[in-house]
């Protein structure tokens, strides 16, 4: 199984009567999620707003988001995959190992109740955060939750969606996909796109020291990367485009101050549901936009001789 | 300035069938004569108007979803190397945008219509089209499951619905109106479908698929859109669905309509084991009704990725095949489903599907009303069109292929009995002149004076297996874009947009409804015209 069964956020607003947040703390990390999209909005088919909806929070600790939930399920750390697999088995009416369930922090009754509620929902959704996708099991956890949502469609309408954040990460994903076919972890070193997360993802390239120059745009890896990666950024010529001083700009060889997109530069941002929104600047900036800087760098590079003289010789045969 | 001499010209719109004549080009248009400039000696070659693809999926949220879902396909895809003139990219089942432009141009196609665009994500579609070089482009906007439109039809407010449709086309910067599984995608939002044309749609008491189809077809005609309603019928892909298709065509009497990928709607039988071709019945009705055009939506054996706004069908296909399933419902408007799929010659159902596409192309007698498509990437990739042309032009090759199908399948199609062979003029009609006319693009699809100088020049005797795979030259807007198999010029295409007339006060009606049901500001909803590069806007007047 693979793929993703999802929808735009307006579908949640208009239809969802059963909402699960898993491994995330939207009350603090996506503070307008409840009020704009999921809980308190009165939707076309949920006219009473919050009263028509049930919210479940699954997490390893009781965060402020638990106060908004009707049901809080506290699980043991690292047991997400086991619980999701158990839920998938229960949805299909298969046998489960109750001894393993006992180690997850939840009881069979809680899991059966959750499955029953999911099946009874008119329109259900699971939002999953980095507490699920970036902890033990990583992409296996994501695959399990996506599959659970997909399989529930044999009984009712059910979707899932990752709780993405960090600026315009979704927009970057989208552009990479239409230009290279892949969302991230793309290498163009051979003159055409290749994809291998773990090999070509930024963090791995930096930690291995495979990179001899870096251009950083709309990100602050100096604040988030593992130390060996940060050390390598400091070692090589690193160029940062950012409206403000960041951890990365402090260790960079060059920092080009640019206008802040959405405040003093126009642009497009993608929501977590992959819907683009136009940004209209409210202020004028004395600094150039990111786009202008990149365009000028590109023009300067285009004047240099092509690095591959006979690209046909390198084209794969198929 | 450019002059092409000595080639045999095939220009169906002007009644020219293989006549050796010179073609002169100046300022991107075909002119009667030029003085000076480059001369291309096309002796031993055939000259065609540039191909026009009336129904393809090459840009937008659904296709980009599919790209992300199928990295394993990309690894086997043709790689496009970065060069000083050309951007890097990947071909394959869901080509990247730059590769899409190169692949279409590299086959002699110069105009493509992206067939399924939600208004909500239309900005994204136009961004991708902007990154699709060389070809001219246009979009069909999804309407048949738009709940604002359906609510108005339920309330009997047809006049207001017409203004909303007109407003939405302009908001999306679209060229035509697309209807996909009318009512069925709305029902899918509750996990249901719309299988019977006369039954009310889930959530409505009066609106039926039939009433959506007839209302939209009439609205499109009244607005004077150059392209008629572009319709994907209910019950796509299901055995026995030919009855729904016939009923739909009856509902359309008195209106113009374009029936998309008719192959997927021409099946008989009661289930997958008894599925058979009903192309004969569909073609018979179609031939007698000149208000309709269609495209084939033919399939070829091999890998494909199915992408359609038809959500319920994709859930069924996922359950049937156990393959990956992507689904993206779009608030108030539409949805889409994605399932990678492999068509196998040894599979009874796939064999029947393969035969049906060819049968329709051969049984529908007017080449001006059926056009070559594979519903890319659903039936096969667009870059495989030359394989279908080869089959259309050679009855013996077809018969040999039929013999390799499962014995059961051979008895369920009439393909082996069909002797018709397409002529070069027929091919020029189904790939260019016909679709251009159905789209109302009067400067496309022909080589008369004043036409856009979009043309493809092929060797009369093919180098390889297929005649139309490798053009010697492709000329787009008067520039040589492909020469000896190489992209020579990164000509940027235009985008065709229509602006139908509507009562501007419709915004006062839409604004509060929109704010209630959507999740963005009304002001952020329409695509800004500046977002399109080289938009060519056609304003439609009130003469309805």
Same domain, B367 and B416: yes
| B179 contacts B143 by C-beta, under 8 angstroms | yes
- The pLDDT-based confidence of A309 (bands split at 50, 70, 90) is low
Q: What does the pLDDT average to over B292-316?
A: 93
At A317 the pLDDT is 45
Same domain, B358 and B463: no
End-to-end CA distance of chain B: 40
Same domain, B388 and B478: no
**Which residue in the set B69, B79, B315 is minimally distant from A316, CB to CB?**
B79
Q: What does the pLDDT average to over B364-369?
A: 97
**How far is B475 from B48, CA to CA, in rounded Å?**
10
| Range in B83-97, B260-274, B359-373 the model is least confident about | B83-97
Given an 8 Å threshold on Cβ–Cβ distance, is A2 in contact with B528? Answer: no
In Å, what is the CA distance from A119 to each residue of A19, A88, A124, B443, B460? 12, 12, 9, 56, 63
Q: What does the pLDDT average to over B14-43?
A: 95
Close Cβ partners of B250 (under 8 Å, ≥ 6 residues apart)? none
At B82 the pLDDT is 87
| A125 contacts A16 by C-beta, under 8 angstroms | yes
| Range in B210-224, B314-328, B358-372, B417-431 the model is least confident about | B314-328
**How far is B265 from B298, CA to CA, in rounded Å?**
11
| B199 contacts B235 by C-beta, under 8 angstroms | no
Residue B76 has pLDDT above 70, yes or no: yes
Question: Which residues of A fall within a CB distance of 8 Å from B514?
Answer: none
- How many contacts, defined by CB atoms under 8 Å, are there between A and B? 173
Residue A62 has pLDDT above 80, yes or no: yes
> CA of B82: which chain A residue's CA is closest?
A191
Per-residue model confidence as pLDDT tens digits over A205-234: 999 999 999 999 989 999 989 999 999 999
CATH assignment at residue B46? 2.30.40.10
Question: Which residues of B fall within a CB distance of 8 Å from A9?
Answer: 331, 519
Residue B506 has pLDDT above 50, yes or no: yes
**What is the average pLDDT value for chain B, to the nearest integer?**
95
Bridge partners of B40, per DSSP, are: B4
Residue B442 has pLDDT above 80, yes or no: yes
Assigned domain for B259 exists: yes
Question: Which residues of A fall within a CB distance of 8 Å from B120?
Answer: 8, 10, 275
Q: What does the pLDDT average to over B330-346?
A: 94
Q: What does the pLDDT average to over B22-32?
A: 96
Fill in the DSSP letter of residue B82.
Answer: P
Per-residue model confidence as pLDDT tens digits over B100-115: 999 999 999 999 999 9
At A314 the pLDDT is 47
- Is some CB atom of chain A closer than 8 A to the CB atom of B305? no
**What is the average pLDDT value for chain A, to the nearest integer?**
93
Given an 8 Å threshold on Cβ–Cβ distance, is B68 in contact with A177? Answer: yes
What are chain A's domains? 9-162 (3.40.228.10), 169-314 (3.40.50.740)
Calculate what percentage of chain A has a pLDDT beyond 90: 87
**How far is A266 from A277, CA to CA, in rounded Å?**
11
| B42 contacts B5 by C-beta, under 8 angstroms | yes
Show the tokens assigned to B463. 């180098």
Same domain, B400 and B311: yes
Same domain, B210 and B242: yes
Output Rg (C-alpha) for chain A, integer angstroms.
23
Residue B171 has pLDDT above 90, yes or no: yes
Same domain, B329 and B453: no
In Å, what is the CA distance from B83 to each residue of A189, A208, A305, B488? 13, 29, 11, 11
- The pLDDT-based confidence of B465 (bands split at 50, 70, 90) is confident
Per-residue model confidence as pLDDT tens digits over A95-135: 999 999 999 999 999 999 999 999 999 999 999 999 998 88
Strands (E), A60-178: 71-74, 123-128, 157-162
Domain boundary among B372, B390, B425: B425
**How far is A157 from B368, CA to CA, in rounded Å?**
43
Q: What does the pLDDT average to over A21-50?
A: 95
Assigned domain for B64 exists: no
Q: CA angle at residue B502 from B500 to B507, to 5 degrees?
A: 125
User: Min CA distance, A317 vs chain B (Å)?
Assistant: 8
Close Cβ partners of B368 (under 8 Å, ≥ 6 residues apart)? B12, B293, B429, B433, B434, B437
Show the tokens assigned to B164. 């909303």
**How far is A241 from A258, CA to CA, in rounded Å?**
6
Domain boundaries, position B214: 140-425
Fill in the DSSP letter of residue A263.
Answer: T
Per-residue model confidence as pLDDT tens digits over B262-285: 999 999 999 999 999 999 999 999
Residue A318 has pLDDT above 80, yes or no: no
Total residues found in chain A within this entry: 318
Given an 8 Å threshold on Cβ–Cβ distance, is B329 in contact with A11? Answer: yes
At A118 the pLDDT is 98
Residue A50 has pLDDT above 60, yes or no: yes
> CA of A270: which chain B residue's CA is closest?
B124
Same domain, B394 and B473: no
At A181 the pLDDT is 97
Same domain, B182 and B262: yes
**How far is A178 from A193, CA to CA, in rounded Å?**
11
Residue B292 has pLDDT above 70, yes or no: yes
| Residue in the block written with tokens 């902007």 | B130
Residue A166 has pLDDT above 90, yes or no: no
| Residue A109, number of CB atoms within 10 A of its CB | 8
Same domain, B323 and B449: no
Given an 8 Å threshold on Cβ–Cβ distance, is B81 in contact with A312? Answer: yes
Residue B83 has pLDDT above 90, yes or no: no
Same domain, B454 and B324: no
Q: Which of B478, B535, B370 is nearest to B110 (CA)?
A: B478
Question: Which residues of A fall within a CB distance of 8 Å from B319?
Answer: 154
Same domain, B448 and B304: no
Strands (E), chain A: 5-7, 18-22, 54-59, 71-74, 123-128, 157-162, 186-187, 194-195, 214-217, 238-242, 254-257, 267-270, 276-279
| A36 contacts A303 by C-beta, under 8 angstroms | no
Given an 8 Å threshold on Cβ–Cβ distance, is A159 in contact with B84? Answer: no
DSSP codes of every residue in B180-234: ESTTHHHHHTTT-----TTSPPTT-SS--HHHHHHHHHHHHHHHT-SS-EEEE-S
- Is some CB atom of chain A closer than 8 A to the CB atom of B126? no
**Which residue in the set A8, A156, A179 is minimally distant from B96, CB to CB?**
A179
Close Cβ partners of A36 (under 8 Å, ≥ 6 residues apart)? A9, A13, B519
Q: What does the pLDDT average to over B473-479?
A: 96
At B283 the pLDDT is 98
Assigned domain for B198 exists: yes
Assigned domain for B456 exists: yes
At B190 the pLDDT is 86
Q: What does the pLDDT average to over B174-192?
A: 93
For A246-278, b where at least 16 C-beta lie within 10 A, e where not — what string? bbbbebbeebbbbbbbbebbebbebbbbbbbbb
Calculate what percentage of chain B has a pLDDT beyond 70: 99
Most confident of A198-207, B181-190, B301-310, B495-504: B495-504
Number of folded domains in chain B? 2
Same domain, B411 and B456: no
């Amino acid at each position: 199984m693979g793929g993703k069964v999802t929808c735009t956020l307006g579908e949640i607003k208009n239809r969802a009567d059963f909402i699960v947040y898993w491994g995330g703390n939207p009350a603090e990390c996506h503070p307008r999620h409840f009020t704009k999209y999921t809980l308190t909005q009165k939707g076309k088919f949920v006219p009473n707003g919050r009263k028509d909806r049930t919210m479940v929070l699954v997490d390893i600790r009781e965060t402020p988001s638990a106060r908004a939930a009707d049901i809080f399920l506290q699980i043991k750390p690292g047991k997400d995959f086991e619980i999701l697999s158990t839920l998938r088995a229960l949805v299909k009416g298969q046998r489960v190992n109750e001894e393993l369930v006992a180690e997850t922090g939840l009881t069979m009754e809680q899991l059966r109740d959750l499955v029953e509620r999911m099946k009874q929902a008119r329109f259900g959704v699971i939002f999953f955060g980095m507490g699920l996708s970036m902890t033990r099991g990583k992409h296996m956890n994501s695959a399990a939750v996506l599959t659970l949502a997909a399989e529930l469609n044999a009984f009712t309408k059910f979707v899932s969606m990752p709780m993405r954040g960090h600026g315009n990460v979704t927009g970057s994903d989208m552009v990479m996909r239409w230009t290279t076919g892949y969302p991230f972890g793309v290498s163009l070193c051979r003159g055409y796109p290749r994809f291998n997360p773990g090999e070509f993802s930024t963090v791995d390239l930096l930690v291995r020291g495979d990179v001899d120059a870096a251009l950083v745009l709309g990100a602050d890896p100096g604040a988030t990367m593992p130390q060996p990666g940060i050390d390598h950024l400091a070692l090589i010529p690193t160029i940062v485009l950012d409206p403000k001083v960041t951890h990365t700009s402090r260790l960079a060889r060059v920092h080009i101050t640019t206008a802040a997109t959405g405040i003093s530069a126009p642009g497009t941002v993608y929501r977590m549901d992959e819907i683009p929104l136009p940004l209209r600047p409210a202020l004028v900036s004395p600094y150039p936009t990111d786009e202008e800087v990149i365009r000028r760098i590109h023009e300067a590079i285009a004047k240099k001789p092509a690095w591959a003289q006979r690209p046909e010789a390198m084209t794969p045969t198929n | 300035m450019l002059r092409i001499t000595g080639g045999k010209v095939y220009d169906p719109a002007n009644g020219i069938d293989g006549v050796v004549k010179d073609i002169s080009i100046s300022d991107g248009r075909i002119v009667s004569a030029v003085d000076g400039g480059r001369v291309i000696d096309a002796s031993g070659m055939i000259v065609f108007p540039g191909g026009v693809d009336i129904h393809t999926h090459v840009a937008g949220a659904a296709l980009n979803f599919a790209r992300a879902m199928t990295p394993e396909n990309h690894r086997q895809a043709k790689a496009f190397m970065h060069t000083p003139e050309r951007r890097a990219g990947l071909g394959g089942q869901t080509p990247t945008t730059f590769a899409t432009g190169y692949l279409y141009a590299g086959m002699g196609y110069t105009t493509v219509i992206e067939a399924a665009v939600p208004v909500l994500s239309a900005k994204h579609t136009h961004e991708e089209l902007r990154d699709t070089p060389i070809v001219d482009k246009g979009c069909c906007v999804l309407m048949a499951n738009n709940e604002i439109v359906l609510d108005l039809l339920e309330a009997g407010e047809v006049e207001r619905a017409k203004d909303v449709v007109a407003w939405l086309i302009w908001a999306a910067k679209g060229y035509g109106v697309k209807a996909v599984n009318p009512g069925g995608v709305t029902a899918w939002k509750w996990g249901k479908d719309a299988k019977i044309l006369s039954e009310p749609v889930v959530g409505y008491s009066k609106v039926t698929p039939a009433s959506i189809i007839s209302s939209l077809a009439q609205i499109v005609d009244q607005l004077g859109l150059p392209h008629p309603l572009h319709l994907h019928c209910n019950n796509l892909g299901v055995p026995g669905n030919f009855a729904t298709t016939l009923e739909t065509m009856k509902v359309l009497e008195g209106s113009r309509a374009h029936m998309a990928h008719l192959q997927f709607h021409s099946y008989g039988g009661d289930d997958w084991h008894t599925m058979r071709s009903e192309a004969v019945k569909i073609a018979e009705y179609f031939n007698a009704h000149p208000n309709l055009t269609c495209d084939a939506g033919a399939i070829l054996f091999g890998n494909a990725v199915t992408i359609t706004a038809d959500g319920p069908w994709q859930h069924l296909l996922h359950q049937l095949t156990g393959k990956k399933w992507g689904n993206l419902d779009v608030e108030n408007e539409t949805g889409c489903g994605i399932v990678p799929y492999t068509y196998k010659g040894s599979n009874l159902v796939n064999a029947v599907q393969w035969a049906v596409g060819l049968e329709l192309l051969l049984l529908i007698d007017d080449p001006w009303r059926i056009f070559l498509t594979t519903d890319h990437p659903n039936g096969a990739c667009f870059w495989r069109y030359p394989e279908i042309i080869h089959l259309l032009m050679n009855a013996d090759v077809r018969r040999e292929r039929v013999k390799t199908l499962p014995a059961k399948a051979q008895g369920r199609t009439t393909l082996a009995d069909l002797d018709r062979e397409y002529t070069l003029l027929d091919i020029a009609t189904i790939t260019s002149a016909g679709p251009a006319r159905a789209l109302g693009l009067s400067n496309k699809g022909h080589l008369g004076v004043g036409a856009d100088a979009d043309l493809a020049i092929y060797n009369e005797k093919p180098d390889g297996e297929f005649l139309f795979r490798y053009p010697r030259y492709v000329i787009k807007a008067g520039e040589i874009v492909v020469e000896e198999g190489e992209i020579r010029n990164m000509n940027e295409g235009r985008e065709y947009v229509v602006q139908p007339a509507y009562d501007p006060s419709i915004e006062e009606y839409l604004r509060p409804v929109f704010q209630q049901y959507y999740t963005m500001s009304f002001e952020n909803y329409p695509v800004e015209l500046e977002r399109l590069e080289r938009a060519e806007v056609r304003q439609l007047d009130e003469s309805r």
